[in-house]
């Protein structure tokens, strides 16, 4: 399983709101399409964004799990896929998002990164509690 670090408030919006598009400057690697990934709230917030709400003020932690269902480039010449989508970027579509009941502290990294077994086990334990 891979993890993806996303700055706040966007990680919280994925976990607890309606954000189902992640804007990136790079195309989704084909190997990750259809994969379940951990959503990690980065250590810093997006300086251009306003952070409201308790779920959006969590840093350096896994906050959700999601499936990456696809990717396309938005050239800005058409109305695109989501309110959250930004022109001139790749849009990674997310589905089956499950927010964790409690953030799991973790140090992230740029791009996709591989969480250790203990981190994955802690997240899995929380997901079992959500499903029970």
Burial bucket for residue 7 (CB in 10 Å: 0-12, 13-18, 19+): middle
Domain 2-131 has CATH 2.30.130.30: yes
Beta bridge mates, 99: 64
* Closest residue by Cα to residue 44 from 29, 25, 57: 57
Question: Which CA distances in Å does 98 have to 38, 75, 76, 128, 130?
Answer: 10, 30, 30, 11, 9
Question: 0.85 cut: is pTM over it?
Answer: yes
Per-residue model confidence as pLDDT tens digits over 54-107: 666 899 999 999 999 999 999 877 777 888 888 999 999 999 999 999 999 999
Domain ranges of the chain: 2-131
Contact 126, 101 (CB under 8 A): yes
pLDDT class of 35 with cuts at 50, 70, 90: very high
Secondary structure of residue 14 in the 3-state scheme: helix
Q: Which residues, other chains included, contact 46 with Cβ-Cβ below 8 Å and sequence gap of 6+?
A: 7, 8, 9, 10
| pLDDT over 90 at 29, yes or no | yes
Whether 52 has a pLDDT exceeding 80, the answer reads no
Cis peptide leading into residue 87 (ω within 30°) = no
């Amino acid at each position: 399983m891979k993890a993806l670090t996303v700055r706040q408030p966007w990680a919280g919006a994925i976990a607890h709101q309606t954000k189902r598009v992640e804007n990136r400057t790079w195309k989704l690697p084909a190997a990750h399409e259809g994969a379940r990934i951990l959503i990690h709230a980065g250590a810093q917030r997006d300086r251009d964004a306003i952070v409201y709400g308790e779920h959006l003020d969590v840093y350096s932690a896994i906050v959700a799990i999601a499936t990456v269902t696809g990717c396309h480039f938005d050239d800005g010449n058409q109305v695109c896929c989501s309110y959250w989508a930004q022109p001139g970027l790749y849009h990674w579509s997310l589905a089956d998002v499950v927010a964790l009941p409690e953030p799991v502290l973790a140090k992230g990294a740029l791009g996709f990164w591989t969480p250790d077994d203990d981190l994955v086990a802690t997240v899995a334990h929380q997901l079992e509690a959500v499903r029970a």
